[in-house]
Amino acid sequence: MTTKVKKSREELLRALSREEFYVTQEAGTERAFTGRYHNCKTPGTYHCVVCGEPLFSSTTKYDSGTGWPSFYAPVDEQAVATKEDSTLWMRRTEVLCAACDAHLGHVFPDGPEPTGQRYCMNSAALKLRPAKAEDGEEG
């Protein structure tokens, strides 16, 4: 079970950029092809920008052509939570950080093998921690 991280609105406003707050706290979406990680090839682990929990590995990242960073699996099934999202007159599955409930993006059943899932995330919700070059470990 993931320990919940709770931060006040004031803490979040101080810690996050305007876009990071909009995406993670107001379930916003950055414009396609504008996020810092949509075309990133750097090896490492993507962490929640709000609480720092590891969410996705660069080893599961792929180019979905959508303009957002896409992954076929989280680092651990318990790292993310999902809930139904029926905004914008469609039914989608919202993806949240399991530790702090930050909005990350959505998951769709049109991804590659081995999972068939496309976790379509907002760069503004993520912080990449590059792998250490000298030993190949993630930092």
Closest to 115 measured CA to CA, from 79, 84, 67, 74: 74
**Which member of 51, 97, 100, 120 is catalytic?**
120
CA dist 52 → 67, 75, 131 (Å): 24, 13, 16
SS3 call for 37: coil
Is residue 13 within 8 Å of 108, Cβ to Cβ?
A: no
Running DSSP on this structure, what letter comes out for residue 5? Answer: -
Closest to 131 measured CA to CA, from 60, 41, 43: 43
Report the distance separating Cα 29 and Cα 47, nearest Å: 18
Catalytic status, residue 120: yes
Q: Could you give the residue numbers annotated as active site?
A: 120
